[in-house]
Amino acid sequence: MCAVLVITAVMCAACGSASQSSTANLPLSAYLVRAHEETGMQRTGPATADRTPAQWTSDGAPNPAAEDKRLADEGFREVISVGTSEGVSWAMQLGSPSAAAREEAAEVKEYASAPQAPANTTRFTIPGIRSADGWVFPNADANVLFTEGRCLMLVGDDLTTSDNQRPVVAAAHAIWTRTHGKPGPCAT
């Protein structure tokens, strides 16, 4: 009888620790593309973090003061980014899911109105990621923005191929599959 109680107690303790480890929070870096997730691309260095809107916009944003204010109003927490062999992957944590959706709309508007955006830009969605908004500049680059809770993610590539959409779609699906619905900085 004692042996059964001891075995039961050990099994229950193991169950408890297993369930705790499965609910560990993801770090914000989990929302970045990883090696071999983006067709033909590799990460080119370590991820970097920007912890203020001014740090994030210091790389040449068209109107940094307005963007800094908008991001502060959206509850900006942090952006983590990593370069890939032909582009970038970043994840931005904001104050709420609605803030992430507003920032996605602002980013799409900014990209669409960029002087280098050709007239023949193609917009697309990604099956399985309802919040995804993608666009392709033929034989130039492709980008996907999507939200997960209070975070906005981007995967972008500068490819001079006719099928430059495929790598960013593969990366977005990989990130989504790995992170969707999991506890972490993006969960609400």
pLDDT score for 43: 84
Pairing assessment for the beta strands 151-157 and 141-148 based on DSSP bridges? antiparallel
CB atoms near residue 94 (< 10 Å): 26
Cα torsion angle, 169, 147, 187, 129, sign:
negative
pLDDT score for 108: 87
**Residuewise pLDDT in 10s, the chain (188 residues):** 333 333 333 333 333 333 334 457 999 999 999 988 887 778 888 999 999 999 999 987 778 899 999 999 999 999 999 998 888 999 999 999 999 999 999 988 887 776 666 677 888 999 999 999 998 877 678 999 999 999 999 999 887 677 788 889 999 999 999 999 999 999 97
pLDDT score for 116: 62
Give the distance from CA 128 to its chain's centroid.
15
d(CA 183, CA 188): 8
pLDDT score for 10: 33
| Domain layout of the chain by residue ranges | 34-179
CB atoms near residue 65 (< 10 Å): 11
Q: Residues 6 or more apart from 55 whose CB is under 8 A from it?
A: none
pLDDT score for 98: 97
Q: Residues 6 or more apart from 49 whose CB is under 8 A from it?
A: 28, 78, 79, 80
pLDDT score for 103: 96
pTM confidence score: 0.83
